Structure 1
Amino acid sequence: ERQLGFSVYRRVTILMLVFGTVLMLVISSWLTKPIRLLTRATKRMAAGDYGYRARQISNDELGQLTTDFNHMANVLEENINKLEEEIQAREDFVAAFAHELKTPLTAIIGYADMLRSRKLDEEKSFLSANYIYTEGKRLEAMSLRLLDIIVTKKEEVQFQLVPAASLFDYLKDMFASHTEMEFHFQYESGMVRAEANLIKSVLVNLLDNACKASEPGSPIEVRGKLTERGYRFEVKDVGVGIPREEQKNITKAFYMVDKSRSRSKNGAGLGLALCAEILLLHGSKLEIESEPGKGSCISFVLPDKGGME
């Protein structure tokens, strides 16, 4: 009986040890599961799967750690996507720039070679020289606007109080010789806080675009008025207009709605890109109302602070 009792005792002890070991393994597995899930998520993200997230299975400290990890992963994925978009934008910019350079340069080289041959009559020689000149001027304007965009992004702007009337007077003088269009100026007196030369550049670009989009003799309205948000500038034409799906892209460098029309009028798709950068410095942006075949109204508001704190 003693031997039987000892055997039973030993078996019970072994069973208890086995049960205790299994129980400890289960508890250990349950306690460490969040860590294993986080480890798996870390490895997946390290391998490039930035959309993978750790599964939260508890509300304790480890659960909070999982939440924080997933929040960090969201921010990381967002930043990576932004970097990829910026890289793509730069590649698109370089490709567009190369294309914009290639087209006029090919023509310039071709016409220059024809002139060099001395086999053209006087009229064809003049046409060739004129084409070289106009394409050269387009390249010059494109390079200057590119430079303006680069400088605008890097330089600090000095804001001053400027009479709005002085800006409109400048436009009247600039476009006085542009007799093909019918300009109408209407504006209210007021002061704007801005860098005058930069805002003049914006307005000149808007009027220049309105002229390119319009047929000769078309009216172009240039307006200015005080609003609750600040001083509002508007340039309105009755030209070709901009399709709604294109409007979000027109401030991208080298983007042109109608490439053939823009190139025929020495456009390179840089004017509105420059305007957008300048207005960003002033705490403003372009507002576009347009309908194909009926024209466009492009405006912006200089806030009372004019970009100043």
Structure 2
Amino acid sequence: MSRPIQTAIHYLTGRRISTSSLQFRLTLELVVLSILGLGGVAVWAGWQMEQNLVAAHKQTLEYIAMRFPEQLELYSEMGGLETSLERAINRVSTPGLAIWVKSPDGKLLAQSPNLHIAAPAIRSVTVFTEAPEKPQIVRFGDRDIVLCGSPLVLKGKPVGKLYLSQDITADQQKLNAGLWRLLLVSLLIIIILVVAISKRIRKAMRPLEHMSQVASAVSADDLSAAKLQLNQAPDEILGLAQAFNEMLFRLSAAWEQQRQFVGNVSHELRTPLTIIVGYLQSLLRRGSNLSTYQQQALETATIETERTIRMLQDLLDLARADSGHLHFRLNPVMLNTLVAEVAAMSQKVSNRQINVLITNEDVVTCADQDRLQQVLINLVDNAIKYSASGQPVDLILEKTDQCAMIHVRDRGIGIPLPHQNRIFERFYRVDESMTRSRDGTGLGLAIAKSLIEGMAGRITLRSKPGEGSVFTVTLPLWQSLS
């Protein structure tokens, strides 16, 4: 039932509504209640009109049947039985009313004149010898007739049986026409109610829609500025909006405390760890009398301390990016030169083959060269890390009408589809045996995403397990910035 009503609501209001929405459910319930209410009223009104019509005709026949013996007795003093019957019948006859009298043996004694010109279906009722004493509706062909028969007694002697019939076909047709008009009016009222109810509920739902838009648009950067402003909403929604604003305020405070905590911890721990790694390196340089076990322990401690310092620096960069304190020196950057330099540097450090595919056109973007270089080195390092030793890494530079694209492609293990949407989250690592043993903090891609977005670009991923991954950095061209 909901599908036709949903189509009707969409057609009448010009707005598609989901079947699971509160607006659709309320509209559906009110429309169904309206249909049931109006339908019930229409059915009751039609039934009542029909009962009144039939009751009026039945009362007429009962009254005539009651008065006919008096008229017959009056006319019997002026002539014979048949003449008296004809005069009495003519006296009480009305248009549409048929009267006839039969003797006890079934012989027709008299009948009303209009039976001769009535329809064949009406004339055929005179063949009836049995008829209910109380008026009842009988169907003859296409005609509706109220019929009754009662014993006729004159001066204490039975004369026969008096039959009365009233053709109510025309009245029934008028009633049916009135019922159809009532149905059409009810349908029109239902349509008007659907439109009015849908629009009214839609208007009532606008504060909730506004709240949903604010909730979907709010981010960690503007939690403190996000606030719902609802002036004419109902009290219940105003209370919900106030609770929502208070929740945003608490989230903003908690998020600010978290950012300050991460930044402070990263900054405060970096200094002592730098001192520790300095002492460890000094011990390694001067520890000629150390045992092999002591030498390995110091090397392991130095490596892990340096790794912790790098992670703290990454956390500090992320905290600065979250707080908006990570500043960029945006200048025109020749990507042709930068990509070639990154490839040469990475190939020298890793002793791995880096294929460079650069367009012949000059590609200039507006970016922070040092941070962009940091991102590319990170992506190339990941590509090398998750590829087999004999597999090369491709660094590709392309140019379109509006932007420049740098692709870092490997032929490594790839990333399963369920993990691709979360690969840029902080500390997220694909939980598989092929990646667990590899170094990394899980912050590199998160930092790369923050840096690229800070330069008005974006970073995307295409990957297939067993075939490798392609990270694409897209940046606007310098000419498109005006």
TM-score by length of 2: 0.40
How big is the alpha-carbon RMSD for the aligned residues of Structure 1 and Structure 2?
A: 4.1
Give the C-alpha shift of residue 167 in structure 1.
1.0
Q: Deviations over 1:223-249 (max 9, x none)?
A: 011013400011011112112111222
Aligned-pair identity (%)? 27
Q: Specify which of 305, 310, 321 is matched with residue 136 of structure 1.
A: 305
2:241 corresponding residue in structure 1: 73
1:244 and 2:417 are equivalent in the alignment: yes
Residues 364, 478 of structure 2: 8 Å contact kept: no
1:30 corresponding residue in structure 2: none
Aligned-partner SS, 1:235: strand
Structure 1 residues 144-153 or 167-176, which shifts more? Answer: 144-153
Q: Distance in 2 between matches of 1:258 and 1:307?
A: 41
The aligned amino acid for 2:241 is: A
The aligned amino acid for 2:387 is: S
Distance 1:263 1:78, change over 3 A: farther
1:274 corresponding residue in structure 2: 447
Distance 1:155 1:141, change over 3 A: closer
2:336 corresponding residue in structure 1: 165
Q: Looking at both structures, which has the greater relative contact order when contacts are Cα pairs under 8 Å and sequence separation is at least 6? A: 1
Distance 1:148 1:83, change over 3 A: same
Q: Distance in 1 between matches of 2:316 and 2:404?
A: 28
Give the C-alpha shift of residue 268 in structure 1.
0.4
Q: Specify which of 254, 268, 271 is matched with residue 427 of structure 2.
A: 254
Q: Deviations over 1:173-202 (max 9, x none)?
A: 321324442210111231111111111111
The aligned amino acid for 1:281 is: G
Q: Distance in 2 between matches of 1:155 and 1:282?
A: 11
Give the C-alpha shift of residue 75 in structure 1.
9.9
Q: Distance in 1 between matches of 2:350 and 2:386?
A: 16
Give the C-alpha shift of residue 258 in structure 1.
4.0
1:185 and 2:356 are equivalent in the alignment: yes
1:125 corresponding residue in structure 2: 294
Give the C-alpha shift of residue 77 in structure 1.
7.0
Distance 1:230 1:69, change over 3 A: same
The aligned amino acid for 1:301 is: T
Give the C-alpha shift of residue 285 in structure 1.
1.9
Give the C-alpha shift of residue 81 in structure 1.
11
Structure 1 residues 255-264 or 272-281, which shifts more? Answer: 255-264
Aligned-partner SS, 2:458: coil
Q: Distance in 2 between matches of 1:306 and 1:243?
A: 38
Unmatched segments (≥5 aa) in structure 1: 1-62, 116-120
Residues 234, 297 of structure 1: 8 Å contact kept: yes
Q: Distance in 2 between matches of 1:131 and 1:158?
A: 37
The aligned amino acid for 2:313 is: L
Structure 1 residues 142-151 or 197-206, which shifts more? Answer: 142-151
Aligned length: 229
Give the C-alpha shift of residue 82 in structure 1.
10
Unmatched segments (≥5 aa) in structure 2: 1-230, 284-289
Aligned-partner SS, 2:312: helix
Give the C-alpha shift of residue 79 in structure 1.
6.6
Q: Specify which of 303, 315, 323 is matched with residue 146 of structure 1.
A: 315
Structure 1 residues 179-188 or 265-274, which shifts more? Answer: 179-188
Give the C-alpha shift of residue 301 in structure 1.
0.7
Q: Deviations over 1:272-307 (max 9, x none)?
A: 111111111112221110112221101121013699
Q: Deviations over 1:45-90 (max 9, x none)?
A: xxxxxxxxxxxxxxxxxx9543994697399379749939x85xx5
Aligned-partner SS, 2:348: coil
Distance 1:80 1:158, change over 3 A: same
Give the C-alpha shift of residue 145 in structure 1.
1.9
2:394 corresponding residue in structure 1: 221
1:198 corresponding residue in structure 2: 371
